[in-house]
């Protein structure tokens, strides 16, 4: 091994007070369950970076297809040339290394170009949920200090209403037609705007068209800069394990580690006989979600083709994409797998009728618990078992995953992945032996540096020894498999997204006629959990429709309550604290 390489070893945190008879979680426990060929650790070069990995890949794989979207191919060479041009354009507009650049668009090729271009220019990428309301978008842009935003035209009208409240000075707008270019692209833009009516009118004076930015950038000098592993590469927003939305600081090294971990974990499936000539990954999840980001990065790092599905809610388009593009790897969430497994046409399952799974080696699920009934239904339709995993925004999505080759659904989130160490701790922070329930703490090279400009929030979850508190309660068995059994806080997990009751309560509390409000999570077969809202009202004329109207305006769809219950008074403790545990039983 080159002396410049460093092998990332999980950090050991031994507890001298542990009884000698107790078996403590350690890499020796879970690595024995790894498939053959998966290493216990990943190796990161001393100067190696995430930006360097992607830049080398787009140059190395040249004319291979990097992304297929809406049956249109973008080669690695195009990603290289366009991202280099985009980097040059950003620098020409006075956007400097370290500046934050926001990206607000669905899973389309332009996202990857802008992401890599921003990184090549030395900037920090800020992924934005395109379904955000104006209030949520304004908070993220203000908090991150983003000076530029690249936005899909279907969401531009929302940004236009809050632009003056943000530090954004450069606005670049891209459209669906930019996927195709030429006459086909022009027709696509007309259809989306005037037939499908998906683009609301907007006015953003001084904005630049994405295609114009790329065109101008091609005539400018190369603006690539050499990045270091400790530079901030991205701010990925999350509620974390506590509080309101905040930016997880992800350094080059964090993103690189996650990409390499994903690569080695899926390698046994990729190399299983018969070995496949081409690797193709189906990506029907949003790129602003960190799980998707790290899977795409892992795929591009090995020269695979990523098959993008911009709107997986369009079931017919999703199935058509799957039917036309046989794939080796698929990612999804419980709700997506469930919808596909249940879909029928003329009384026949669509998966069996239209989709070829003969070369599919892995179907990975994350974000929200996979239900056993869904896993069994998926296996019945495809012959494949869903590999469930678990991670967090703060770990670039990489934490645990079930290994390749399992024959059945075990109800766990799998094993700690390479270079990842997990401890189960009690409320006093003491490591617990195998089989005992406690909070999951995680360490590894993929763990964030902290929360953006929030040292107090960082201190709440980091122990100073490299371990991070996840807020999830779990149990590890004797083979290293982890079962998530609960969450320490009141956070609600809807379709893989963190939803914080306090945010919903703050919004509803502004409604005239609301005297008390509490939001709790309830089980949902489709989304894992859903929001249930309890309201005590001072105005008897206040209706459920009144509350839903405000929630629709102020909250992203997955944060909105699925049920609203009116009560004369919410249950409280002796000191006046609302007893949410009792509400969950109502």
Top-confidence residue, 179 or 11: 179
41 and 418 Cβ atoms separated by less than 8 Å: yes
CATH 3.40.50.12780-classified regions of the chain: 5-47+239-487
Top pLDDT among 546 and 406 is at: 546
CATH 3.40.50.980 at 68-227, yes or no: yes
Q: What is the pLDDT of residue 525?
A: 87
As a whole number, the mean pLDDT across the chain is 91
User: Over 50: is that where the pLDDT of 320 sits?
Assistant: yes
Cis peptide bond N-terminal to 274, omega within 30:
yes
Question: What is the CATH topology of the domain spanning 5-47+239-487?
Answer: Rossmann fold (3.40.50)
Q: Specify the DSSP element, H or E, that contains 415.
A: strand 415-416
Q: Which fold has domain 492-584?
A: GMP Synthetase; Chain A, domain 3 (3.30.300)
DSSP state of 12: P
| pLDDT confidence tier of residue 15, bands split at 50, 70 and 90 | very low
Question: Is the distance from CB of 124 to CB of 98 less than 8 angstroms?
Answer: yes
User: What number is the average pLDDT over the span 26-43?
Assistant: 94
Q: Which residues pair with 421 in a beta bridge?
A: 443
Is residue 173 within 8 A of residue 207, CB to CB? The reply is yes
Q: Is residue 2's pLDDT more than 70?
A: no
Question: Residue 530 and residue 536: Cα distance in Å, rounded?
Answer: 20
**What does the pLDDT average to over 230-252?**
85
Nearest-angstrom CA–CA distance, 359 and 384: 11
| CA 365 – CA 475 distance, rounded (Å) | 20
Confidence class of residue 371 from pLDDT cuts 50, 70 and 90? confident
Confidence of residue 368 (pLDDT cuts 50, 70, 90): confident
Residue 243's pLDDT band, with cuts at 50, 70 and 90, is low
pTM, two decimals, is 0.86
CA distance 575 to 586: 21
pLDDT range class, residue 23, cuts 50, 70, 90: confident
Q: Kindly report the backbone phi and psi dihedral angles of residue 157, in degrees, each rounded to the nearest multiple of 5, phi listed first.
A: -65, -35
CATH 3.40.50.980 intervals, the chain? 68-227
pLDDT at 13: 40
Taking the alpha carbons at both ends of the chain, their separation in whole angstroms is 61
* Predicted local confidence at residue 427, as pLDDT: 85
pLDDT at site 573? 59
The pLDDT tens digits for 489-508 are 777 889 888 788 888 988 99
Instruction: Tell me which of 437 and 450 has the higher pLDDT.
Output: 450
- Could you give the residue range(s) of every CATH 3.30.300.30 domain in the chain? 492-584
311 is written with which tokens? 């709107």
Per residue in 263-306, pLDDT (tens digit) is 999 999 998 888 888 999 999 999 998 889 989 999 999 999 99
Instruction: Give the pLDDT confidence score for residue 425 in this predicted structure.
Output: 95
Do strands 514-524 and 528-537 pair parallel, antiparallel, or not at all (unpaired)? antiparallel
């Amino acid at each position: 091994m080159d002396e410049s390489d460093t092998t990332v070893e999980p950090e050991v945190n031994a507890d001298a007070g542990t009884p000698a008879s107790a078996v403590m979680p350690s890499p020796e426990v879970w690595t024995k369950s790894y498939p053959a060929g998966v290493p216990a650790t990943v190796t990161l070069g001393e100067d190696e970076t995430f930006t360097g990995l992607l830049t080398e890949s787009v140059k190395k794989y040249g004319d291979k297809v990097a992304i297929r979207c809406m049956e249109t191919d973008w080669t690695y060479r195009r990603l290289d040339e366009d991202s280099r041009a985009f980097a040059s354009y950003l620098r020409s507009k006075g956007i400097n290394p370290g500046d934050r650049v926001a990206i607000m668009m669905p899973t389309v090729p332009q996202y990857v170009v802008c992401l890599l271009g921003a990184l090549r220019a030395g900037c920090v990428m800020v992924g934005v949920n395109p379904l955000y309301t104006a209030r949520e978008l304004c908070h993220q842009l203000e908090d991150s200090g983003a000076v530029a935003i690249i936005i899909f035209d279907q969401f531009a009208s929302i940004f236009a209403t809050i632009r003056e409240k943000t530090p954004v000075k450069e606005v670049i707008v891209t459209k669906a037609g930019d996927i195709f270019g030429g006459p086909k692209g022009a027709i696509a833009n007309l259809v989306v705007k005037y037939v499908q009516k998906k683009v609301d009118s907007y006015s953003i004076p001084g904005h630049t068209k994405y295609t114009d930015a790329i065109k101008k950038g091609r005539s400018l000098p190369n603006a690539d800069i050499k990045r270091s592993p400790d530079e901030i590469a991205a701010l990925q927003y999350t509620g974390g394990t506590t509080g309101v939305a905040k930016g997880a600081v992800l350094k080059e090294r964090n993103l690189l580690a996650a990409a390499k971990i994903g690569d080695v974990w899926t390698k046994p499936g990729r190399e299983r006989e018969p070995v496949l000539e081409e690797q193709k990954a189906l990506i029907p999840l949003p790129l602003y979600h960190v799980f998707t980001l790290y899977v795409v990065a892992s795929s591009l790092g090995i020269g695979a083709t990523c098959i993008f599905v911009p709107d997986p809610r369009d079931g017919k388009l999703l199935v058509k994409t799957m039917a036309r593009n046989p794939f080796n790897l698929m990612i999804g969430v419980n709700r997506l797998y469930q919808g596909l497994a249940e879909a029928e046409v003329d009384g026949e399952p669509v998966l069996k009728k239209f989709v070829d799974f003969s070369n599919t080696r892995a179907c990975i699920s994350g974000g929200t618990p996979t239900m056993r009934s869904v896993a069994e239904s998926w296996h019945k339709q495809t012959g494949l078992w869903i590999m469930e995993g678990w991670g967090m925004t703060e770990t670039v999505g990489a934490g645990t995953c079930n290994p390749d080759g399992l024959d059945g659904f075990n109800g766990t989130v799998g094993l700690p992945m390479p270079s990842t160490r997990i401890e189960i701790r009690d409320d006093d922070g003491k490591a617990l032996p195998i089989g005992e329930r406690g909070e999951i703490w995680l360490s590894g090279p993929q763990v964030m540096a902290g929360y953006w400009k929030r040292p107090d929030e960082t201190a709440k979850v980091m122990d100073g020894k490299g371990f991070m508190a996840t807020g999830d309660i779990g149990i590890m068995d004797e083979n290293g498999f982890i079962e998530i059994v609960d969450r320490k806080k009141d956070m609600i997990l809807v379709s893989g997204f963190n939803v914080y009751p306090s945010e919903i309560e703050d919004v509803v509390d502004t409604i005239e006629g609301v005297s008390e409000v509490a939001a709790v999570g309830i089980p949902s077969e489709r989304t894992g959990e859903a929001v249930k809202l309890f309201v005590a009202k001072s105005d008897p004329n206040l209706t459920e429709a009144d509350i839903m109207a405000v929630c629709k305006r102020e909250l992203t769809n997955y944060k909105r309550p699925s049920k609203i219950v009116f009560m004369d008074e919410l249950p409280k403790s002796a000191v006046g604290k609302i007893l949410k545990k009792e509400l969950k039983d109502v």
